[in-house]
Structure 1
Amino acid sequence: MGTMFLSHEELGKKDDDHKPTKLPSIHPRWSAATGTPRSRMLKRLAIAFALGVFIYLFLGNLPTDVPIRDRRRPIYRPEFEAGRPSAPGPMPKLTTGRKPQYPNLTPARPVQPDAVSLQAAYNGPIVFPRLRSTLQAIHATDGSSPVNKNVLYAAASLKSAALLLPMACQMADELRNYVHFALVGGSEIDLQELRAVNGIDNSCQVIFHDARPDYAGASAPERLRQSSVRALYHIHNHMHPQAVIVDASDLEEDYFLAGFRKQAPVSGIPLIELPEHAHSRLAWTTKLDSSSLAAWDKISIDILINAQPAASGNLIHLLKSLSAADFSAGSVPHLTIELPPDVDGATTEFLKAFQWPPPGSSRPSYPRQLTLRHRIPQGRLTEEESSVRFIESFWPSSPQYSHVLVLSPQAQVSSQFFNYLKYSVLHYLYSKAALTQEWDSRLLGISLDLPSTHLDGSKPFTPPSGKGEIPLLWQAPNSNAALFTGQKWTELHAFVSKLLEFQHRTQPLPSFFTDKLVSRRYPSWLEHALKLSRARGYWTLYPSEATAKSLVTVHSELYRAPEEYEREAAKEMPGNAPLPVSGRTLLESLPRDGSLLPFDEMPLLLWDGRVTELSNLDNAAAAYANEFRRAVGGCQALAPEDLVAKASMKDLFCMKDE
């Protein structure tokens, strides 16, 4: 073509070629051309015209909306089906109106996966033909902001999709989040067909995204894994989901889980991996908001047990119940057992074979998380020694996210206890309502047990009239089975430290310090926890009677007094508690369809069991704190800024360090 154009005087020459040049005489070496000069010229012009038309048509039909492509990264391609772009899924509106419910969360008939050739080996550049249109349509969900209300369910296996879709619809019906569902991987089913076979109609306010690559059914497994990584990367950039929920059972594709497990921590997204039968075991997750779910993998819960001498039956029963519990809602807690100086033979033999985490846990790859502490014999512990040893047994690595569950050896937990704790902790400490209303500032802990007597043991405890079916807030702490928040545990640690310092410096001790309000049937540290609650106006969340029966049983027939009080306390406690109720899901054991109540809808009790209002609780706390500062803290003429509560307890103890 170049020779052809250069052979034409006007098309092939530059301006300089027209300048006269003296050329040497050369005898050309070619054969005579056939045909006349005119025919040759017409032929060349025809060829040139045809090529010109071809080039014009080619350039005229090039797409003008395609950016320069970097083949190191996957790109989006607009989605067209039957000549028109597909419409994005419906946009949920977070209103107060109720939507159709999915109470049982029963998955629909699983869809059989498309037949994919075993020889599938396409490994070309990754393109997402149908993803950009739906991601661009969700701008109203504030996806560009790192903090929003977006929650993503994702699946590659159609069987996993059938399990997740009812849960996604249930979460959307709660009207707390914008709920999205992304289909990833190698399936070739149409999204509308996927919705139809799973019974998902327009009443389900879930936004659907097709995050499958081109040539999905013919792609090699490694390409599908890479496409899962890149799909989550792009979804995160456009949506910033606060949590991603996937099915981690054997039904899901390995390449999909590998891809999401790789990308989720890089993007900083909590990856919630649901176990087998999650639609019944973890149905409560659908009632959490995005702020709670964002803290899913940040929180940790330790378990602390203070074993007693010659009480092997108590400890063994408790440890067996812990081994049978459902820990699918997260990592298995670290377990610390404080052993007495004399450990009986039955306990020793049991601990030799005891495994923690339990062998049947859904995540057996975790390292051994059991700590045994065997005290050196030194006689019977005093109140001070017992309190110090117990409170020193735990320290939160992060007071905001690390919490401790204290279990009495007389307790026996149900399989649902950990689900209840995680559900309650996520909602009452990290939800949008909790952060806005600062619920954590008042919450000392969350009890699994509803005590049968008051703290002083003087009379039976009866929930407020007409309020027995809902939880309550009580200023009295609990030592049978209760979780203490990390922040309040550090405050208790500082409070006991200051109290013991005062005790060593002051003789004789004032009656305000020595008077006991807690029965000697309970450990000595509980008295300190009560003092802290009264001075700060803290409360403990107690479950309803029905819920408590499904969470824990405290065996009074196996009761042994704390070591520091074994001579003074009663040898037995009246009554015989039944085992925790089994066979019900967590939501079935909770009032009001499993939705956790806000604090302002619960009855509020002073430490002695009297029902009160928040203003009265605040007044009582202020009066007690002032009396405490005068009688114990050595405080005089404090300025208003000195009265502000401090975690160091310096507002209660004004003694100067020596």
Structure 2
Amino acid sequence: MGLFTNNDDAMVKKDDDLKRGKALPTRAPWAPSSTPRTPPRKTIKRLAIVLVVGFFVYLFIRNLPPMDGQVRRDYRHPRYGDRKPPGKQPGPMPKMKPPPPERPPEKPVIKDIPSEKSPAVTSPSTVAAAVSARAYDGPIYFRKLAATLQAIESSTSGYSAVNKNVLFAAASLKSASVLLPMACKMGTELRNYVHFALMGGSEIDLEELRAVNGIDESCQIIFHDARPDYAATSTISRLETCASRGLYHIYKYMHPQVLFLDASGAEEHYFLDGIRKQADASGVPVIDLAKNAYSRLSWMTKLDASSLAAWNRVSIDILIHAPPGGSGSLIRLLRSLSAADFSAGPTPHLTIELPNDIDRATTEFLRDFSWPPVRAHSPSNVRQLTLRHRIYRTRLTEEESSVRLLESFWPAVPRYSHVLVLSPNVQLSPGFYHYLKFTLLEYLYSTASLLQSWDSRLLGISLDLPTTTLLDNSKSFAPPAAKPLKQAKDAKKPSLASQTPSSTPFLWQAPNSNAMLYLGTKWTELHSLVSNTIEHQHSTQSPSTFFTAKTVSKRYPSWLEHAMRLARAKGYFALYPSEATARYLATTHNELFKAPEEYEKELRQDDGAGEEIRLTSGPLLETVKLLGFDEMPIVNWEGKETGLERLDGGAGEFVREFRKAIGGRCETWEGPDVGERLKIEDLFCLRGE
């Protein structure tokens, strides 16, 4: 039986017919009429309301303010307002109309929305001069920067954190004229990709800037316009933010290894504040070029990006051990130090180890001695001098003398902290520090040295050129001749053809105690060698003659014997200057020679007499040739020319003799015999204990 009966079906059908009849009104048959019909009054009223509402909606939409820096558009035609902001306006800051067009621009545009705005510079004179003209503080657009950054990203490996990009940046046109000659000279060396970024509020065209400063295509400089829109009328705080954000975008595309800024006082303060803040956040090293940097530091243009990145990280200490009664020599050395040019970096810390008996002349001189020198660039004016006065002893032993020297310095960061050991008999030239930093950066931190691992063999850099004898004072010595000239692949590469036979730098396995910079990593090894040697000798009743026999004359301090053992065991060598360069660096005076305190009773006063180099004044760096390690002769500790294989062979033989003299646990030792893997502990067979 279904849910519905027949009667029910009939009722439903009738009800449905009634409803459908009510929903469809009946119409009279159509008949033409001669008179037009008048629309009802309600229809006219509704049309009027729609028109009024539509008019108000149109006015509302047309007068909407732009959102997030976007200009409103008439969708029938693109509208481009005047790009120049209005002049001085009273009352609140007027809303500007940045002009991005409706269609995509032909060149990419960098729009910057920094997370927070930098504080404005509060210099009264700067603000007062800019109040009327500098009023714009709107959104930041770098309209010319994106195109040049995207163009160099792949061609200069800008996407990589390690590359050859160096950046010069300026906001002041005076500063630009200071930096551009340095950038041009660096570009012509073809060791780096040199970039110049113009920032700040100037309106000069880049082509005009190049023409005014004599920069042409031969300079090999890549220019970037990193100025924002409305730069000439932007507020000081906006320009500071733009400097910071501009470097932010440059870093993303370029990853510069170093940033050069003008520190002569001509640069805009807002620019320096903004760009230094971002450089610090991005980890970009900053080199401040002081006044006359082009004439005094032109040699830095020959360094590659890897070397320049280490510019601020390198530190050098100076260490002097004064013997008793040697006032004349010490005073002469300190005067030559005071006359030196330290514009290549912070003035080194100076430590003077004084004997127990200080003569009156030395006492009076040190009373008025100032370090750093008054004329030296020292922003903090911190005293960088340490005087150590030894307590009375009858006479130093060899062991005490070595310990005293090695305890006088310790590198905080061995990779970058180094020490220059000076004998009081030395006199230095004014330009010695420039040579030290130049060669140190090139031969320890350059890409070429790091790739070839030659830097791991470098014990130090000598300022003193040996004159007549070897370190044992028994055989004559003459600097080696230059290597035969190879076919040059690069016309810019220094040629050896014009050098005289003895005017080439060379690598010698022998260390130096007169004037030599010891690398921090090697100093720590020397410290470990002396410490373990002393411990072994104290624990052995009869030390082997291996440790008592001397290969270094007693004209030199006892610690030099340990330095010689280190060089022989590890196959190290020191860089010595050419004869032409040595005359501009240092000379060792022998007329006031004083024997080391531990040997003074064994040597006569005239035992130190000998030939000396006469210092010459002039353009030091013109004599320096940046030869590769493989282009310089190598001399072993005995004064004979050799090669790396024979140097390593001699090192392996020396290590075996060393371990044989140690005896005991070394008889069954199977550790490394030579090379970088060899540690000082391996010489004493201590590893793993």
Partners of 1:570 and 1:399 in 2: CA distance:
39
Aligned pair in 2 of structure 1 residues 582, 258: CA closer, same or farther (>3 Å)? farther
- For 2:378 and 2:206, the matched residues in 1 are separated by 32
Aligned length: 578
Question: Which AA in structure 1 matches 2:470?
Answer: H
Are residues 508 and 645 of structure 1, via their aligned partners in 2, closer, same or farther at CA, if it must alter by over 3 Å? farther
Q: TM-score by structure 1 length?
A: 0.81
- Aligned position for 1:357: 372
Could you tell me which residue of structure 1 aligns to residue 382 of structure 2?
Answer: 367
Equivalent position amino acid for 1:546 in 2? A
Cα-to-partner distance string for 1:83-119 (whole Å, 9 max, x where unaligned) = 97599xxxxxxxxxxxxxxxxxxxxxxxxxxxx9784
The worse-fitting range, judged by mean Cα deviation, of 370-379 and 454-463 is 454-463
Determine if the alignment matches structure 1 residue 487 to structure 2 residue 521: yes
1:40 positional shift: 11
Does the CA contact (< 8 Å) of 1:334 and 1:370 recur in 2?
A: yes
Separation in 2 of the partners of 1:297 and 1:644?
30
Q: Name the structure 2 match of 1:185.
A: 200
Aligned twin of 2:337: 322
TM superposition shift of 1:245: 1.0
CA-to-partner distance for each residue in 1:542-577, whole Å, 9 max, x for gaps? 010111111112222222111111122241333464
1:36: Cα distance to partner?
A: 13
Helix, strand or coil at the partner of 1:561 = coil
- For the Cα contact (< 8 Å) 2:170–2:176, is it kept in 1? yes
Once the two structures are overlaid, the 10-residue window that deviates more, 497-506 or 440-449, is 497-506
Asked if residue 581 in structure 1 is aligned to residue 611 in structure 2, the reply is no
The 3-state SS of whatever aligns with 2:543 is: coil
1:362 Cα deviation (Å)? 2.1
Match of 2:558 among 520, 524, 541: 524
CA contact (8 A) 1:78 1:130 kept: no
Q: Which residue of 2 aligns with 1:27?
A: none
The offset of 1:349, in angstroms, is 2.0
Match of 2:658, SS state, is helix
Counterpart pick for 1:605 among 619, 622, 635: 635
Shift of 1:648: 5.0
User: CA, structure 1 residues 277+386, in 2 after alignment: closer, same or farther (shift >3 Å)?
Assistant: same
Name the counterpart of 2:667. Answer: 636
- Contact persistence 2:307–2:447 (CA under 8 A): yes
SS of match in other structure, 1:607: coil
Match of 2:143 in 1: 129
Counterpart Cα distance in 1 of 2:99 and 2:546: 75
Q: Report if the CA contact (8 A) 2:655-2:674 is conserved.
A: no
What SS does the corresponding residue of 1:381 show, helix, strand or coil? coil
Q: In 1, are the aligned partners of 2:164 and 2:193 still within 8 Å (CA)?
A: yes
Report the equivalent of 1:233: 248
RMSD in angstroms over aligned alpha carbons? 3.2
Q: What is the alpha-carbon distance in structure 2 between the residues aligned to residue 633 and residue 411 of structure 1? A: 41
* Kept after mapping to 1: 8 A contact 2:417/2:519: yes
Out of 595, 609, 624, which is 2:654 matched to? 624
Q: Which letter maps to 1:454?
A: L
C-alpha displacement of 1:213 = 2.8
Contact 2:108 2:143 in 1 (8 A): no
Matched-pair contact (CA < 8 Å) for 1:645–1:651: no
Q: 1:349 to 1:118 in 2, by over 3 A?
A: farther
1:504 maps to what in 2? 538
Task: Supply the distance in 2 between the matched residues of 1:117 and 1:643 (Cα, whole angstroms).
Answer: 68
Moved more, 286-295 or 211-220: 211-220
CA 1:246–1:633 in structure 2 vs 1: closer, same or farther (change >3 Å)? farther
1:257 pairs with one of 272, 295, 300: 272
Q: Give the superposition deviation at 1:239.
A: 1.4
Structure 1 counterpart of 2:261 = 246
> Which residues of structure 1 form unaligned runs of 5+?
1-34, 64-75, 88-115
State how 1:98-177 maps to structure 2 within 5 Å.
119-122=132-135, 124-125=137-138, 126-140=140-154, 141-177=156-192
Question: Cα offset for 1:39?
Answer: 11
C-alpha separation between the residues in 2 aligned to 1:86 and 1:416? 49
Contact 2:263 2:288 in 1 (8 A): yes
TM-score relative to the length of structure 2: 0.78
Aligned to 2:222: 207
Farther-moved stretch of structure 1 (146-155 vs 347-356): 347-356
Conserved 8 A contact 1:356-1:370: yes
Q: Hey, what's the Cα distance between the residues in 1 that align with 2:621 and 2:215? A: 23
Equivalent of 2:460, from 397, 421, 445?
A: 445
CA contact (8 A) 2:506 2:577 kept: yes
For residue 600 of structure 2, the aligned residue among 566, 574, 581 is 566
In the alignment, which residue of structure 2 is the partner of 1:13? none
Cα offsets for 1:471-505 (capped at 9, x unmatched): 10001001111111111111111111111122223
Q: What residue in structure 1 maps to residue 74 of structure 2?
A: 58
Match of 1:554 in 2: 588
What is the rounded CA distance, in whole Å, between the counterparts of 2:528 and 2:653 in structure 1? 21
- CA deviation after TM superposition for structure 1 residue 450, in Å: 0.7
The structure-2 alpha-carbon separation of the partners of 1:351 and 1:77, relative to structure 1 and needing over 3 Å to count, comes to farther
Query: What secondary structure sits across from 1:651 in the alignment?
Result: helix
Change (3 A) 1:198 1:508: same
Structure 1 residues 465, 36: CA separation in 2 closer, same or farther (over 3 Å shift)?
Answer: closer
Higher Cα Rg, which structure: 2
- Gap regions ≥5 residues in structure 2: 1-40, 63-71, 80-97, 110-128, 483-500
